[in-house]
Amino acid sequence: MRQMVRLRHTVHRTTTVAALLVGTTLVAVPQALAAAAPASAEAPGGHTATAEPLGRLGPLTGLVIERLRVGDDVAASKFGTDSPIEDPVREQQVLEQVRTKAAALGLDPEDAAAFFQDQITASKTVQKGLFARWTAHPEEAPTTRPDLAEIRERLDRLTTDLLDELKATEALRARPVACTVQLALAGGSATARERLDTLHRQALGTATHHVCVTGRATVS
């Protein structure tokens, strides 16, 4: 009984420390980087490329944001056409491919599928938000229509890159406290450097929901 009480106290203390660290990171990092953001360069697809987000989950977070930006192009490709935002058949195809590739990498297929379901949901959030914006403000609507086939090629490449990063960060992501702190650092720095608007910040939160694998956590 005493051991269980001590264990509960330890877990509570660890969670409290993690919350304080995350709160500090979320406040301090965006403010500091917004004031000293590096010069941007034009990236393929018309998006702005900036330095990689900070921390050990920076590369993974950078790829997540790149995928969100591709969602902008998906929206531009579909807006004003009969193509729906929702595509359940395509989504299931993507998730099955993810499960197969994840298993080959030694990743848990269902953990990987949960992560990619978040990517799909986040992309739809972006598309719906942009559709609403462009409908309300037609002057902001895109004047060119990206090729959806080329977009899917980019998404396929990003799927491979994201799976590789999930594998590279597997040990870290299984440590709840360390993962939460590193994710806050990466997300905070990326939000400032990319100057994400409210829509894309919301989508980023959705897309990173299953980054930390709490179900199979080890002691930090």
* DSSP sequence for 199-211: HHHHHHHHHTTTS
- Rounded average pLDDT over 26-51: 44
* DSSP sequence for 57-121: THHHHHHHHHHHHHHHHHHHHHTTSS--S--HHHHHHHHHHHHHHHHHHT--HHHHHHHHHHHHH
Q: Which of 39-53, 84-98, 118-132, 203-217 has the lowest mean pLDDT?
A: 39-53
According to the model, what pLDDT value does residue 52 have? 80
Q: Do 145 and 196 contact (CB within 8 A), yes or no?
A: no
- Whether residue 30 has pLDDT greater than 60: no
| List of residues 6+ apart from 77 with CB closer than 8 A | 83, 145, 146, 147, 148, 151
> 147-181, pLDDT tens digit by residue?
989 999 999 999 999 999 999 999 999 999 999 99
According to the model, what pLDDT value does residue 214 have? 65
What percent of the chain is predicted at pLDDT more than 70? 74
According to the model, what pLDDT value does residue 213 have? 83
- Whether residue 19 has pLDDT greater than 50: no
Higher pLDDT, 114 or 214: 114
Q: What is the rounded CA–CA span in Å between residue 152 and residue 142?
A: 19
Measured in degrees and rounded to the nearest 5, phi and psi for residue 175 equal -110, 100
- Looking at every residue in the chain, the average pLDDT score rounds to 83
What percent of the chain is predicted at pLDDT more than 90? 72
